[in-house]
Each structure stands twice: as C-alpha cells, then as structure tokens.
Amino acid sequence: MARISGADAPALTAALAKHATVPSYKILSHTNNAPAKAPTVIAPEPSQEGETEEQLEKRLHGLMTQSNVVLFMKGSPDVPRCGFSRKIVDVLKAQDVAFNHFDILTDESVRQGASRTKQKHAENY
C-alpha cells in the first residue's frame, strides 16, 4: 500500500486512486436494514433429569465449541456475579477478545459437569 506522513492531501488522494478499485458486480438486492448483531449469549439448554454422563459431556462439548472463546462465568459480562468473573471479563474486553459466555448459575449440571471435566483434564496432565 502506501505510507503517508502528516497532512498531505495530494499524496493521500494519489494513494487512494492507485490502490482503490471499484468492484464490477451487479447488485441483486438492496436493504436499508442494518446487519443483525451476532449473539454473544449462549442460551442454556434445559437441564434434564436423569441426564447421563455421556449426554452431559456432549452438551458441554456443544457449549464449548460454539465460539473460539467461551467464558463459563457467574452472571453475565454486563452484570458479573463474582469478582473473578468481573476480572476475566475486564481482561478479555481490554484485549479486544470476542467471546461468548455461559452463566453457570442457570444450570447446575453444567456447573458441576464443567468442574468434573476440568478435574479430569487436570489429572491427564
């Protein structure tokens, strides 16, 4: 591309003319609506009575793979319900990390299952 130092309008105009291209495509549709915002909240699946260990593992796996970063926390990023959750949200936001979250207080089996999964993985290392 080009590097322009200071307020050099002619150089900026020349660089834009050199690097900007107008795409040649035919517009097939038009809307004035803004794009839908992607969800950042992972809705909890209803806890199931008598859920087997395998079913819970599958549900946890589904929750963990919905985004590159999923924060299992108490509360939500806007209203964290513990100091640790608040600190982690602040760190992620400060680093501009896009993340989804899951409120573990809404689903006791996920809360307990995530704890067991973490313990099982720690034993493997």
Please state, in angstroms and rounded to a whole number, the distance separating the CA atoms of residues 102 and 35: 24
Give pLDDT tens digits along the chain (125 positions): 567 767 777 887 777 777 666 656 677 777 788 877 766 666 655 555 677 888 888 888 888 888 889 898 899 999 999 988 999 999 999 998 999 998 988 888 877 776 665 556 556 55
Q: Which CATH class is domain 67-124?
A: alpha beta
Domain ranges of the chain: 67-124
